[in-house]
Amino acid sequence: MNRGSGFEWTVVLAIVALAAFSLSPGLIVLAAGAVAIGVIVTITGRLALVGLETDVRIEPERVLEGERFVAVITIVNRKPIPLPWLDVRLFLPEGLESASAERGVPRTWVNAGFAPGAHERIVLRAPIVAARRGSYAIGPLRLRGGDWLGFSTSEREDPVSRQIVVYPVPIAALDRRVPALRPLAETAVRRGLVPDPLRFRGVRPHRSGDPRKEIHWKASARLRSLQTKLYEPATSLDVIFLVNVASHEQYWLQADPEAVELVIAATAELVRKAASAGRQVGLVTNGLDNVTHERPRSALSRGPRSLGRTLEILARLGPYAANSPAAVFLAERGRLPWGASLIVVTPKIIAGGLVGALIALRRAHHRVLVVSVEAAPIEVAVHLRARGIDVDTLHEAELRHAV
């Protein structure tokens, strides 16, 4: 805690000495008043920030880029002494901005001033704009207060840190459906094509056409209506996204942040659509996490938790690559389920290593779709299509929506 005092004790001591020497009633009263004021300033200044408890919450903790969220700041004055003034400032990292800041006022913090009373609890709700995708830590919280007469100030910094994840903003990416190379079809139907009797999932009301052997008699007796058993399907809908952030063959020298933002936004939208269709989704990338500085990956799974994990990886992904896309994608080849669909999202199709990796993945019995921000050269696109690899480009309308 830092303290600064503007009270002149030397002047007070001089007045006291002069009053003691002259024994003048006026100087004695003046000296007594100056001492009393000095005592009040010292005590209230030292106790200004004592007994103050702070807390910061984020509502909600996950938002989309461009959306607003609220930082809830709670200040509790536990002591029986009121404060004449208190200044609270919550610092924001780069990428987050105060939504209520006026023109000409910095947006890198949230500021508020008030006078808390004795044993008072104050709750502040500060709107904040998530300007860019990413994972951020909000804080610290700085408190500034003073004595009752305004001679001194005290400053304290509470090391609060609250995490907020900003997901990439969805773009109007078209739904690029890619069937998997499975022995059996994986089209969604009302009843699973090949249900697995060992993976019981639950029951549902019996419908006309359901086989009688699938009736769950105990559940039917308990619910007093016929119930049919539900099973998990023996086949699965697997989609693995291979996200490339390298825009140039010499990935360690050059990067294109704008193209990477388009890649991440398109991948986020395609992941959402695949998850809403009930597919199992996984993600592999050659990019680096902005927080851990490691190469992240998301295992193949389905459900809200899996979707949140995948979107969080995309939110924290930086524009710099850890390795070439060919090296990363081929190294993951042994972990990929046989016949799973692979959607490669890339700033552009780099001739050479990436093209060879795509062909190798296609030969490993995967259905491969390439979604590129920049249109591939005609000879490269023809070469890939001749080997059964679909090549697609983000349309102009999608790019305009992203901007």
The token duo for 382 is 């023809």
45 within some domain: no
179 within some domain: no
Least confident of 26-30, 222-226, 315-319: 26-30
Shared domain for 228 and 278, answered yes or no, is: no
Domain that holds residue 327: 238-402
Residue that wins the pLDDT comparison between 134 and 7:
134
Check whether 172 has a pLDDT greater than 70.
no
Q: C-alpha dihedral over 317, 318, 319, 324, to 10 degrees?
A: -70
pLDDT grade for 182, boundaries at 50, 70 and 90? very low
State percent of the chain over pLDDT 90. Answer: 33
Residue that wins the pLDDT comparison between 121 and 151:
121
State percent of the chain over pLDDT 70. Answer: 85
- The count of structural domains within the chain is 4
Residues 69, 60: Cα–Cα separation, whole Å? 6
Shared domain for 291 and 376, answered yes or no, is: yes
Q: Is 121 helix (H, G, I), strand (E, B) or coil?
A: strand
- Highest average pLDDT, of 38-42, 55-59, 340-344, comes from 55-59
183 within some domain: no
Shared domain for 250 and 161, answered yes or no, is: no
Q: Which residue from 262, 282, 275, 268 is spatially nearest to 311, judged by alpha carbons? A: 268
Shared domain for 75 and 140, answered yes or no, is: yes
Residue pair 165/312 in contact (Cβ under 8 Å)? The answer is yes
The token duo for 231 is 């099973």
46 within some domain: no
Shared domain for 312 and 256, answered yes or no, is: yes
Express each pLDDT in 283-300 by its tens digit: 999 999 988 899 999 988
184 within some domain: no
Shared domain for 271 and 395, answered yes or no, is: yes
Residue 291, domain CATH: 3.40.50.410
20 within some domain: yes
- Highest average pLDDT, of 15-29, 55-69, 385-399, comes from 55-69
Shared domain for 215 and 84, answered yes or no, is: no
Residues 381, 202: Cα–Cα separation, whole Å? 47
Give the chain's mean pLDDT: 83
Q: What is the pLDDT of residue 123?
A: 95
Shared domain for 125 and 243, answered yes or no, is: no
Query: Of 167, 190, 211, which residue sits at a domain end?
Result: 167
Least confident of 136-140, 171-175, 385-389: 171-175
Q: What is the pLDDT of residue 328?
A: 93
Shared domain for 123 and 214, answered yes or no, is: no
Residue pair 170/272 in contact (Cβ under 8 Å)? The answer is yes
Express each pLDDT in 121-132 by its tens digit: 999 999 999 999
Residue 161, domain CATH: 2.60.40.10
205 within some domain: yes
Least confident of 12-21, 110-119, 190-199: 190-199
Shared domain for 127 and 156, answered yes or no, is: yes
Check whether 315 has a pLDDT greater than 90.
yes
Q: What is the pLDDT of residue 252?
A: 83
Shared domain for 292 and 391, answered yes or no, is: yes
Q: What is the pLDDT of residue 74?
A: 95
Residue pair 39/68 in contact (Cβ under 8 Å)? The answer is no
292 within some domain: yes
Shared domain for 266 and 338, answered yes or no, is: yes
Q: What is the pLDDT of residue 152?
A: 82
Please, what is the Cα angle at 51 between 47 and 52, to 5 degrees? 105
124 φψ region: left (φ > 0), alpha (ψ -120 to 50), beta (else): beta
